[in-house]
């Protein structure tokens, strides 16, 4: 019997008491209580991550989250983890700081996002708004290419990249990911809803096809663009396998590969790589909070007819 048990028994007791008076009130309360418990469990690792990033190594073992308020001092709660993390570190390609890896990740993720936003929306526009010879064949080809698991391409793509001389360059990561059948389909779905009369009117006004795409269609599918940017950014930001395979110079590596490395380097001082993990989680979180609604509608648009 401990505090946690008492708390759970307390929650159950309220449920029983409510059940006695009104069943619907009890069900409403039960629903709320379960969701609250689940949400707490889901958020707990994040709370723990934030606390751990600031704790000293002794405090890490002693307290699960934070020390009790009376015990808090600069000895157990400080910026030492970040200080060690952000120190310059000697590598084969000269001294490198952690910010360099953050910059690498930001560059890779934003470049991939912008490039694939352009190519995928362009392809989606062609499939949604033109009738041309071979269109159905193209659609069937794209759909079936989506059914092939990406891992079958890993080994042969390694050789393709090697023969192109792209090993240890960002080209190897950006160009193969610059356009995907999945992205084209997302944009096609969104663009089908744009009325054709609008395009006709623009044509009569003398707009060429590319200008219609850029100035008319793209502003109309802004919500889908938001969702796509987020999906694409997070995919690239969190990618581990391709950069791990294709990049070799230490100074070019993005965060996931670096933090994986640090797990081995700082095995005794894990506060350091937890601080790094916290820094690595922040940029996608900011993006997500600003684009939350679009993201969820974009995720489900493939599976659910709106």
Partner 1 sequence: MSVGQLVTSSPKAVPAYSAVTRRRSRNPRAPYLFLLPFFAINLVFFLYPLIYATVLAFYQTNGPARRAYVGWGNFAFILRDPDFHKALWNTTIFAIFSIGLQLPLSLGLAMLLNSKNDKFKSLFRLAIFAPNLVGQVFVGIMFSILFMPRYGLFNRGLQSLIGWGLEEQWLGDPKLVMPAIIIAAMWMYVGFNMIYFLAALQNVDQSLVEAATIDGAGPTSIFWNVTVPAIAPVATFVVVTSTIGSYQLFELPYNLLQNNGAGYGPSNSGMTIVGYLYQNAFANGDLGTGAAVGWVLTFIILIISIIQIRIAGKVGSET
Residue 235 CB, nearest distance to partner 1 (Å)? Answer: 9
- Establish if 239 lies at the interface with partner 1 (CB under 8 A): yes
The residue among 32 and 107 lying less far from partner 1, judged by its C-beta, is 32
| Contact with partner 1 (CB under 8 A) among 6, 9, 39, 103 | 39
| The one among 11, 77, 138, 202 contacting partner 1 by CB under 8 A | 138
* String of contacts with partner 1 for each residue 200-219, x by CB under 8 A: x--xx---xxx--x------
Measured from the CB of residue 94, what is the shortest distance to partner 1 in angstroms?
26
Residue 140 touches partner 1, criterion: CB under 8 A: no
The answer to whether residues 238 and 284 touch, using CB atoms and an 8 Å cutoff, is yes
Query: Pattern 148-187, binding to partner 1, x per CB under 8 A?
Result: xxxxxxxxxxxxx-xx-----------xx-xx-x--x---
From candidates 202, 214, 245, 251, binder to partner 1 by CB under 8 A: 245
Instruction: List the structure tokens of 244.
Output: 């791990």
Q: What CA–CA distance (Å, rounded) separates 7 from 180?
A: 50
Does 193 contact partner 1 by CB under 8 A? no
CB-side neighbour CA atoms (13 Å) of 178: 10
At its nearest, how many Å lie between partner 1 and the CB of residue 80?
17
| Closest to partner 1 by CB, 99 or 162 | 162
Q: Which residues are within 8 A (CB) of 180 and not within 5 positions of it... i.e. 6 or more apart?
A: 116, 120
Q: Name which of 30 and 86 has its Cβ closer to partner 1.
A: 30
| List 240, 248, 249, 290, residue binding partner 1 (CB under 8 A) | 240
Residue 169 in tokens: 């360059």
Query: 259: Cβ–Cβ under 8 A, 6 or more apart, which residues?
Result: 273, 276, 277, 280
The only residue of 31, 83, 88, 222 in contact with partner 1, by rule CB under 8 A? 31
Q: Which of 70, 74, 94, 132 binds partner 1 (CB under 8 A)?
A: 132
Q: Is 285 in the site for partner 1 (CB under 8 A)?
A: yes
Shortest distance, CB of residue 92 to partner 1, whole angstroms? 20
Q: Is 242 in the site for partner 1 (CB under 8 A)?
A: no
Own/partner pairs for 244-249, CB < 8 Å, 24+ apart? 245/154, 245/158, 246/158, 246/161, 246/166, 246/167, 246/168, 246/169, 246/172, 246/173, 247/168, 247/172, 247/173, 248/167, 248/168, 249/92, 249/93, 249/168
User: Contacting partner 1 (CB under 8 A), which of 93, 145, 215, 249?
Assistant: 145
Calpha distance 245→240 (Å, rounded): 9
Per-residue buried b or exposed e for 124-143, using 16+ beta carbons within 10 Å of the residue's own CB? bbbbbbeeeeeeeeeeeebe
Rounded distance between C-alpha atoms, residue 244 and residue 253, angstroms: 8
Considering only 6, 13, 34, 72, the residue that binds partner 1 (CB under 8 A) is: 34
> What part of residues 67-126 is at the interface with partner 1 (CB under 8 A)?
119, 122-123, 125-126
């Amino acid at each position: 019997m401990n505090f946690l048990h008492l708390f759970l028994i307390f929650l159950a007791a309220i449920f029983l008491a409510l059940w006695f008076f009104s069943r619907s009130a009890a069900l409403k309360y039960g629903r709320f209580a379960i969701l609250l418990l689940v949400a707490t469990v889901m958020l707990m690792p994040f709370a723990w991550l934030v606390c751990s990033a600031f704790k000293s190594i002794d405090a890490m073992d002693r307290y699960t989250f934070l020390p009790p308020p009376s015990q808090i001092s600069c000895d157990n709660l400080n910026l030492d983890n970040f200080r060690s993390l952000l120190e310059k570190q000697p590598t084969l390609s000269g001294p490198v700081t952690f910010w360099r890896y953050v910059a690498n990740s930001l560059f890779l993720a934003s470049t991939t996002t912008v490039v694939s936003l352009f190519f995928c929306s362009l392809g989606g526009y062609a499939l949604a708004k033109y009738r041309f010879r071979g269109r159905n064949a193209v659609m069937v080809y794209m759909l079936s290419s989506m059914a092939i698991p990406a891992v079958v391409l890993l080994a042969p793509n390694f050789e393709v990249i090697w023969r192109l001389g792209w090993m240890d360059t960002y080209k190897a990561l950006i160009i193969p990911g610059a356009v995907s059948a999945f992205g084209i389909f997302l944009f096609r779905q969104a663009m089908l809803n744009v009325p054709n009369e609008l395009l006709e009117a623009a044509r009569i006004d003398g707009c060429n096809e590319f200008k219609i795409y850029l100035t008319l269609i793209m502003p109309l599918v802004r919500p889908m663009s938001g969702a796509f940017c987020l999906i694409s950014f997070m995919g690239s930001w969190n990618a581990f396998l391709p950069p791990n395979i294709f990049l070799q110079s230490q100074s070019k590596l993005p965060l996931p590969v670096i933090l994986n490395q640090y797990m081995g380097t700082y095995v005794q001082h894990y506060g350091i790589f937890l601080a790094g993990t916290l820094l690595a989680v922040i940029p996608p979180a900011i993006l997500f909070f600003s684009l939350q609604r679009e993201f969820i509608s974009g995720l489900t648009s493939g599976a659910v007819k709106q």
